[in-house]
Amino acid sequence: MNAKEIQNELGPGAVFPVGEENTAFAQYFVGTSYLNMLTTQGVGVGNVTFEPGCRNNWHIHHKGGQILLVTAGRGWYQEWGKPARALRAGDVVNIPPEVKHWHGAAKDAWFQHLALEVPAEGASNEWLEPVDATAYEQLV
């Protein structure tokens, strides 16, 4: 599927271009994602697009945390030990540092969010295990 077709699937909320296939981080995703870094100055802001069923592995942002601004589609966010939360355009997720979590598309919908990396001295990202496939498939 090309970028224009993906934009059409996402609908009018997808105001930022989809970007290239996210090959640099593909090992930390189940399915295909696309990344368009909107800025890396000050606060890093990436437009991340997930094909249906795509999700990232569990991960932890050390020191800085992350903010997700959902712009299009349907998806999920889950913190370790808590139930998954459905996400739609307009939702905001504030992820404090040191919280193990994952996010991604619903199994039947494209999903897009802006990911803001909260700046902090010594901030890093630790990638962990994939989300349990059986648990993901039960999300509705």
The whole-angstrom separation of Cα 116 and Cα 114 is 6
pLDDT in tens, 2-58: 888 998 899 887 889 999 999 999 999 999 999 999 999 999 999 999 999 999 999
Who contacts 84 (Cβ-Cβ below 8 Å, separation ≥6)? 76, 77, 78, 139
Query: Which tokens belong to 115?
Result: 């990911």
pLDDT in tens, 56-88: 999 999 999 999 999 999 999 999 999 999 999
Q: Which CATH architecture has domain 3-121?
A: Sandwich (2.60)
